[in-house]
Amino acid sequence: MEICIEASDLPGSGPGFACAPEAGPVYVGVQRKDRPGEVLEPHRGDAPSAVWTLECVARTTADGVELTGRYVQDRLGGRFVYLSWGTLDGHGVFSMFRRAKLMLADVDAAVLDAAVLDAAAGSGRLVARLGLSDARGEPLCGRVRPGDVAWTAETPG
């Protein structure tokens, strides 16, 4: 199964953000589980959009569907995906200064079930669509609440 994150409204590449006034250019990527310095496909903060596709495994448990994978974090409060903001040095080393948390528990159960059902048929995809600028035009951070992210089940095209 796949999780696809489609981001728009990126805040720019810095410098001058209150969260990292010295930083620039700024990048955003999906943080690998338990490795804050390792991100999947970092995109510049001034890109028109960014898309990441994550492979994961869906498993049905007594509590519902559980997603696991290289980019699915598992901490107190549930499973989630981090979008990490940071800089890249001349050697490509990522230094994170802020991150946003996409909680998988916030996905409507019917949407998640539909994505898992499609995955069983060989084509399941859970899609998250969100803007990456907060109300002040800064890089989005913290828990991204329903309404700020739209989750859908889709067939990869």
Which of 143, 21, 129, 22 minimizes the C-alpha distance to 82?
A: 143
Within 8 A by CB and 6+ apart from 24, the residues are 13, 14, 15, 16, 87
What is the chain's mean pLDDT, rounded? 91
pLDDT at 18: 83
pLDDT tens digits for range 110-123: 999 888 876 666 67
pLDDT per residue, tens digit, the chain (157 aa), is 999 999 999 999 877 888 877 767 899 999 999 998 899 999 999 999 999 999 999 888 887 888 999 999 998 778 999 999 999 988 989 999 999 999 999 999 999 988 887 666 667 899 999 999 999 999 999 999 999 999 999 987 6
pTM of the full predicted structure? 0.92
Q: What is the pLDDT of residues 63-93, one digit of tens each?
A: 788 899 999 999 877 899 999 999 998 898 9
Alpha carbon distance 77, 116 (integer Å) = 22
Answer for the pair 14, 32: CB distance below 8 angstroms, yes or no: no
What is the Rg, in whole angstroms, of the alpha carbon atoms belonging to the chain? 16
